Amino acid sequence: MLDNKENAIGVFDSGLGGLTAVKELMRQLPYEKIVYFGDTARVPYGTKSKEAIVRFSMENVLFLIKNKVKMVVIACNTSSSLALPLLKQSFRIPIIGVIEPGVKKAVRVTKNKKIGVIATSATINSEAYAKGIKKLNHSIRVASQACPLFVPLAEEGWFNNDVTFSVAREYLKPIVASRADTVILGCTHYPLLRSVIQKVLGNKVTLVDSAKEVASEVKKLLKETGLENNRRHSPKHLFWVSDQPKHFRKLAKRFLGYDIRNVKRSSDV
Ligand code: DGL
């Protein structure tokens, strides 16, 4: 299986937020087929225990492997924070998460050595981002803030309204106070609220989008492992969910900017 360049890249997320990573993968790797799995029956992961998140993530990888993918991208920051080491130990297929790519970029761009991290409660409590940053540069100061209400606001499509502004102003107080010049959007949904977050933090702050960074890492990894599909064609992507495919399709338009047709429900996960 590993030497099959034409096999798809598997991507999973707790729901539909991982489509922000898919959008970037499609842009950077237009000839790669993507098989996506969104665990819409069990979303959100960000408020759940490590045990539950690890178990769900294992099942998601098994599902993708059954669908003959050549590698797995964990688009979900919460799964990447809590399950990546165990997943890597458990499977032979290359698996890549969003934390390290986001960390590398933030460490590269910060000038004042102060980085803010915003993410789900589970991601913040895991300290995956903070530890990753410290590992690369111990002298960097990290301010972390969980912003759980950002997920439903993004799913509601409230990208730019008063409620979202009030919530953002409240959540981002400690990040503003930390004077971080670089802030990691450590959750799949936050790129959708980018303009509100940028306005609250001010134009001088650089926002790092982990979804964008992971796509570049995937590109590199495919080249290194010889798994890159160079056949010029329009791949037929597949989208699987564990519940409510119609609802997923409707919201997917918000994330991707266009309609997707092949969304199926899986009873395997
Ligand atoms: N996909 C999750 C993440 O990136 C956000 C939604 C959830 O809590 O499941 O952390």
Dist CA 239 CA 111 (whole Å): 40
User: Which mutation among 37, 50, 56, 78 tests ligand 1's pocket best, with the greatest number of atoms within 8 A of CB?
Assistant: 78
Fold for the domain defined by 100-210: Rossmann fold (3.40.50)
Question: Domain-by-domain residue ranges, the chain?
Answer: 2-97+212-265, 100-210
pLDDT digits 0-9 by tens, 41-92: 999 999 999 999 999 999 999 999 999 999 999 999 999 999 999 999 999 9
* Sequence-distant (≥ 6) Cβ neighbours of residue 115 within 8 angstroms: 106, 107, 133, 140, 141, 142, 143, 180, 182, 183, 184
Output the DSSP codes for 3-63: T-TTSEEEEEESSSTTHHHHHHHHHH-TT--EEEEE-TTT---TTS-HHHHHHHHHHHHHH
pLDDT digits 0-9 by tens, 145-179: 999 999 999 988 899 999 999 999 999 999 999 99
How close is the Cα of 240 to the center of ligand 1, in Å? 17
CB of 189 sitting under 6 A from ligand 1 = yes
pTM above 0.85, yes or no: yes
Question: CB atoms < 10 A from the CB of 230, how many?
Answer: 8
Do the domains at 2-97+212-265 and 100-210 have one common CATH topology?
yes
CB of 78 sitting under 6 A from ligand 1 = yes
Q: Please tell me the residue having the least CA distance from ligand 1 atom 1.
A: 76
Residue-level pLDDT at 1:
45
Per DSSP, helices labelled H in the chain are 19-28, 50-66, 77-90, 99-109, 121-126, 128-136, 150-155, 162-171, 173-178, 194-201, 210-225, 245-256
How close is the Cα of 245 to the center of ligand 1, in Å? 18
Identify whether the C-beta of residue 68 lies closer than 8 Å to the C-beta of residue 264.
no
pLDDT digits 0-9 by tens, 175-229: 999 999 999 999 999 999 999 999 999 999 999 998 889 999 999 999 999 999 9
Structure tokens at 232: 């010029």
Active-site annotation, residues: 76, 187
CATH class of 2-97+212-265: alpha beta
DSSP state of 207: E
Question: CB atoms < 10 A from the CB of 224, how many?
Answer: 10
Dist CA 248 CA 224 (whole Å): 34
Residue-level pLDDT at 3:
53
